[in-house]
Each structure stands twice: as C-alpha cells, then as structure tokens.
Structure 1
Amino acid sequence: MSSAERLEKKRLQNMVPATVLTGFLGAGKTTLLKRILSEYHGKRIAVIENEFGPESIDNELLVQHTDEEIVELSNGCVCCTVRGDLMRTLNELRTRRQSGELNFERVIIETTGMANPGPVCQTFFMDDDIAEYFRLDAVITVVDAKHGMETLDRQEEAQKQVGFADRILVSKKDLVQEHDYQSLRARLLRMNPRASITPVHFGETDIASLLDISGFNLDTILDIDPEFLADEHPDAAHAHHHDHEGECGEHCGHGHDHAHHHHHAHNDEVGAFVFRSNRAFDPERLEEFLGGIVQVYGPDLLRYKGILYLKGINRRMLFQGVHMMMGAEPGKPWLSGEKPNTKLVFIGRKLPQEIFQRGLEQCLV
C-alpha cells in the first residue's frame, strides 16, 4: 500500500460514518430504529429523526424531555429532530462533537416515509465541512412485505427509496405467502440489482450487519445479483398475476379501485440495467458522454456505479454517481491473467436504456 493510500485509509477511519434509514410509511423504520437504540452494541449513535408525527422514538427511550432539538437517549445515544435543515443539523453535531460537548461514533438519519433519499445523500457531498467530517456509509430501505407491491404501484417515492438502497430489508414476511414474498423480491431485484435483499424480523436483526456497509465507498466490490443477470432469459419478462385484495391494512388510506388493479405487469418507473464490455473506453469520449448524460438525465439517475476499463490505464477505475454528482478513482491493477472489462450498473427513473447503451458503445475504442 502506498503512503497516499495509507493516508486516505486513515482519513476514512477517522470520519464519522452516517447511515440513511428510509422506507415507506408503516414499513417498520421506527421499530428498527428503536431496536438499534435499545440494544447494547457498544456504539454511541447520534440519531437525526426527520419523521414528523406521533410515532416518535423519544417517547419510550428518552432519559430527559427538553425543548431542545438534541436529547440524550438512555443507552448513550443522542437524538435530534430535524426541525431545520439537515446540513445545519449535521454541522451542529460536528461542532458539538469537536468541542467535546457530545460524544458519538456514528450517525443514523431516519427520513420521513414520503422522502426521496437523494437530497439527503447529496448533503454529504455538497458541503465541504460535512464532506470532510462525515462519511456516508449506506442507504438502508425497509419494505413492507404485506403492502409493498401496492405501495410500489402507487408511490413514486417508494420506488426511489428502493432504487437508492444499498441494503433492502423486507419486514412482515410472516404475514404473506411465500410466493407473494418471492414475487416482491423479484420485483425489487429488477429495480435494484446491487442491493442485498433480506427478510427481517425486527426482534432478531443483526445490527452489526446494518452498520459499516460502505455502500458509497468506491472501493467496495460492485455486487450485482446474478439473478438479475439471468434477466436476459425469456421468463424474466413475465407479468405477475396475483391478487392484492385484502392486503392493505386499516390504516392504508388508499382509495382502492381493485377492479383493474390485480392482474397487470408492474411498470415501475425505477429500474436498472447493466452495461458490460471487454473493450476499453476512450477516456475523453467517455467523459464527454457521461457529462452530457448527467446534464440531461441527472435528476432521474438515482445511483450508478461500476468498474471501468480505460485505454492507456493499466488498472481498473472505480466510478460512481448520485444524481448529478459523479466521481472516479484508480482501483487495483489488472492482474496478468485477468481480462480487463467494464461493468456498470445504472439505477434510475424511466432511463432510456437504448440511448445509454448506444452512447457507451460509441465511447469504446
């Protein structure tokens, strides 16, 4: 390891990791958060709650009630409700930690059920003080097995939450038939093939597996679920035919029109595709093309990430982006027996796969 790499590693270790916890209303985010806060895991956590409403975590866990935004929790956690701006809250936490007034090792941000996690993630890259002090670790999305299909059909934000995820936790699996769970899982996989999908019973979640995922670290391997790549086979395009009747709970609040809702393919606005090639990219052409794509489709590009094989560079380039921000850095050298190749995954809303595919092919040497 070079001295520059060692310094970078040390810098990352000293940064405060932050996890964004998202999921639609009623999926179980607050239950999971309570679990994290009440379990003894030896870590001091600052929780930023962006959830307005009666189901607040502080009712049961707070040691003291104050009018202040930041409150100490019983097991050495700190909780603050975002009444102001997230950037301001993070900077306030940073200042208070630097002064020794607060002591925490990581941050968890619980977003509101209706939120698109994109702007929350961008906060960590836009403000220099925050970018130098906090390291965005991962987005964890909770999906409710019982109402997940219905929610994804009706709520665009829920689709974005899935598209942004580094890890998807499926709650309430015990309330549905196995084939319904498998249909939901297949749908989530098509929307986001790079997130691991795990059914979760909140009483038994391994908290350690939710922290330090490094989903935003360029160095982590690009995991694309092999099931997604089997997408080229003809079965993958089949529509689901199952019945949603009676799946929506009493608090659902949806005006139901079940008559024509049951038997249709789920035309999700959020989807994913993978670009692969064994030919090298021309670096200048690629940079120009990606710059143009981001200008046009940036708001609809949720996450894109991959390994690039560039002409004239004997190591892989690690590349990723969120919306309109992207970056690349050198990775490991290609080994002598290794065939250099590009593997890129794009996850976004109504992305024109043909245009991306053709454009990228034109950037190859």
Structure 2
Amino acid sequence: MSQTNIPVTVLTGYLGAGKTTLLNRILSEDHGKKYAVVINEFGELGVDNDLVVDADEEVFEMNNGCICCTVRGDLIRIINGLVKRKGQLDGIIVETTGLADPAPVAQTFFADDDVKKAAHLDSIVTVADAKNLIARLGDSSEAEEQIAFADLIILNKMDLVTPEEAAEVERRIRAINPWAELRHSVKSDVPVTAVLGRESFNLEKVLEREPEFLNGEDHHSHDSEVMSISLSTDKPLDPERFNAWIGQVLAVKGQDLLRTKGILSYQGEDRVFAFQAVHMLADGDFIRDWKEGEPRVSRIVFIGRDLNRPKLRKGFESCTAEAATAAYESELARWSPEA
C-alpha cells in the first residue's frame, strides 16, 4: 500500500540547546507510533549508548518501532525511499545539526514534486537554550534563523535562569518571531504530543491558534536583523496581479525572506487560497471554502531581513481587484481619442 502525505517534523536548535535530549525522549517513550528519524551526519545520533550502526546501512529499526536514517546525500532521496517502505509510518522527524539553517530542509517540501506528493511539512520545532540564547543571537545568524523559522519554540534549561533572565530571553524571542508557540522545559521534558503531529506549518492552523497574529498590525524588531511584517485587506485580490507582484518580491528579496505566508481571498472565488514561501521557493493552493459569514480578509506575513514595510504595503494593496480595475480604466483613458 502506497503512502501519501506523511507529516514531517523538522527538529532544530543551536549546539547544546537540548535537541538530542528531546529526540531521545521521543524515541524512548512508548508512544505506540512508528516514526522515521533523519539526522544530518552519521555519528551524531546519540539516541542510545548501546545502539550499534553498520556504516553500510542507511536505515535501521529500533526497539520501539522507530526507524533512523543518516543523511549522507540527498534528503529528497531519503524521504522518497522512506515512504516506499513496507509498513505504515506515522511521521518523519528530521534533526538538523546545531549549526544548521533550517531553510534548506524546509525548501525541500516546496522544491520537489515527488516529496510534495509523499509528505508535507508538519512543523519546525526549535529547542532554545534559555541560559545562552541571548549570547548566541549576538554571534550566530543560524541561532536567529532557527528562532525565526520555528512554529514551536521550546525554551529549555529554565532551571538555570532567574525569572528576570527568562523574561528577557522571551522578549528577544518575540522580537524575532512573535507568533510561534513558546513552551518552557527542563531537560527537554515536553510531551511527545506537543511536538509531533502539530500541523502548525499549515497557515490555516496558525491563524486558528492565534487569530490576532495577522490582523493588520505590523511587527518588527528594533534590536534584531529579523523582522516580521503583517498586512491585510478586506478587498478581494486580483490573482494575476498578486502572482505578478509576489513573484517580483521573491525574485528581488528572496534571499532575505525567511518565511512568507498568506491567506488570500480572490475576486469571484469562494475558496480560501493559502500561499507559503521559503526564500524564493513558493507554493500555494485552495484549502477550503469560505465559511458563511466569515470575513473574507486577505492576510500575508513576511519574516526576514531588511524589509521595506511601506513598499510591501503599497504593493500588496495594488493587488486588489479594485486597484486592478482602476489601473485598467486609467490605461483606457490614456489611450482614449478624447485624451
């Protein structure tokens, strides 16, 4: 039986944050489910001291039904291979190295058609060291990007900080990523159910959890390179104008854009369109019908560096069907014999 749409959780976090401790917890708990685990480099697994891995084997079974793989080449090939294996998988966990930018992993789920058919990005979970995060944000762009990309941030080692220190760490996190769920932990003692199967990369789910997130306010950080800008309009969008505009934005600013997400209402369309992008790689589709009485508000958020808020707002507002009609009428008038 072929499998489709397997949820994938990306587990990231800076060196020493407690990422492997969390992975150990997931793999050792009797959760009754079968997960595949993909790790960046052979020899960094650290799942079980008694575990012996044959270097010639890419996949091996664990006692609790988990499968572990090492990425010695192509993540796309690994995922496609996993979904073709016999037996049902409940999910795949991709653990990045402590110095990794999670963007390339996230991009995999936009860039490859086979992966998109076989699996979807369930969430990006970042484990952060409450004691050392502020220092890491000062000297590591990777630590900042791990926070910016996250759907769930586990603030670990809370037993090592004072309430005042914890409040400052949370303030710094929220300056970079104001919408991710934030959980406290000691020795990564977070329930497996809080980490896996979240579906929090799904934009609709994010908005259900935090409906105020994209209500038109602009968020950006004054003490971080990473900012978050949120825009909205209650006027229906012209799909052609939006596609042309967002394509230009991603082409010009894609390297600076960590995440882009949007829920869009198109003129003459009764379905909700969800748009997502990681850097320059974009994807989108209709996800459901607009509910009766539901405000048809288009909302989009940009998370990245060096973003021009007035320019993005002007461009987004130019994508409305009303603006498209005005532009068309203006062009007609310009070529009118009476002009």
TM-score in same-fold range (> 0.5): yes
SS at match of 1:60: coil
1:172 CA drift (Å):
0.7
Instruction: Select which of 247, 262, 286 maps to 1:291.
Output: 247
Q: Which residue of 1 aligns with 2:13?
A: 23
Give the C-alpha shift of residue 143 in structure 1.
0.8
**Counterparts of residues 1-16 of structure 1 (less than 5 Å):** 14-16=4-6
Q: Which amino acid aligns with 2:68?
A: C
Deviation (angstroms), 1:146: 0.5
Residue in 1 that maps onto 2:331: none
Deviations 1:193-251 (A, max 9, x none): 23111112346311011111113335424254858979779xx97xxxxxxxxxxxxxx
* Aligned with residue 66 of structure 1, among 31, 54, 61: 54
* 1:94 CA drift (Å): 3.3
Match of 2:307 in 1: 351
CA deviation map 1:88-138 (0-9, x unaligned): 32233334x1xx3x7643211110111111111122232233222222211
Q: Is the 8 A contact 1:309 1:316 kept in 2?
A: yes
Distance 1:208 1:26, change over 3 A: same
CA RMSD of aligned residues (A): 2.7
Specify the code of the residue in structure 1 equivalent to 2:67.
V
Aligned to 2:27: 37
How far has the Cα of 1:280 moved from its partner? 2.6
Aligned residue among 117, 128, 133 for 1:143: 128
In 2, Cα distance between equivalents of 1:180 and 1:231 = 28
Q: CA deviation at 1:21?
A: 0.3
- CA–CA distance in structure 2, aligned partners of residues 321 and 130 of structure 1: 16
Contact 1:156–1:269 under 8 Å retained in 2? no
What SS does the corresponding residue of 2:123 show, helix, strand or coil? Answer: strand
Identity of aligned residues (%): 41
Q: Structure 1: which 5+ runs fail to align?
A: 1-10, 238-264
- Deviation, 1:141, is 0.7
AA aligned to 1:213 is R
Report the counterpart of residue 195 of structure 2 in structure 1: 210
Q: Which of 86, 90, 104 is the aligned partner of 2:79?
A: 90
Aligned positions of 1:263-278 closer than 5 A:
266=223, 268-278=224-234
CA gap 1:299/1:359 in 2 versus in 1, 3 angstroms? same
- Residue 112 of structure 1 pairs with residue 97 of structure 2: yes
Work out which of the residue numbers 142, 159, 170 in structure 2 matches 1:157: 142
Residue identity in the other structure for 2:315: G
Pick the aligned partner of 1:179 from 164, 173, 184: 164
Helix, strand or coil for the counterpart of 1:204? coil
Displacement of 1:283: 2.5
Q: Which residue of 2 aligns with 1:339?
A: 295
Does the 8 Å CA contact 1:61/1:74 hold for their aligned counterparts? no
- Deviation per residue, 1:238-296 (Å, 9 max, x gap): xxxxxxxxxxxxxxxxxxxxxxxxxxx73x22221111222232322222111100111
Report the Cα offset of residue 298 of structure 1.
1.4
In the alignment, the residues of structure 2 paired with residue 359 and residue 338 of structure 1 have an alpha-carbon distance, to the nearest angstrom, of: 25
Give secondary structure in 2 for the equivalent of 1:141: strand
Q: How far apart in 1 are the matches of 2:242 and 2:159?
A: 47
Counterpart in 1 of 2:109? Answer: 124
Q: Contact 2:24–2:47 (CA<8 Å) still a contact in 1?
A: no
In the alignment, what sits opposite 2:46?
A: 57
Q: Shift in Å at residue 145 of structure 1?
A: 0.5
Aligned equivalents of 2:138, 2:212: Cα separation in 1: 25
**What residue number does 1:360 align with?**
316
* Whole-angstrom CA distance in 1 between matches of 2:91 and 2:81: 14
Q: Measure how far apart 1:335 and its partner are.
A: 4.5
TM-score by length of 2: 0.84
- Kept in 1, the 8 Å contact 2:110–2:283? The answer is no
Q: How does the TM-score come out when normalised to structure 1?
A: 0.78
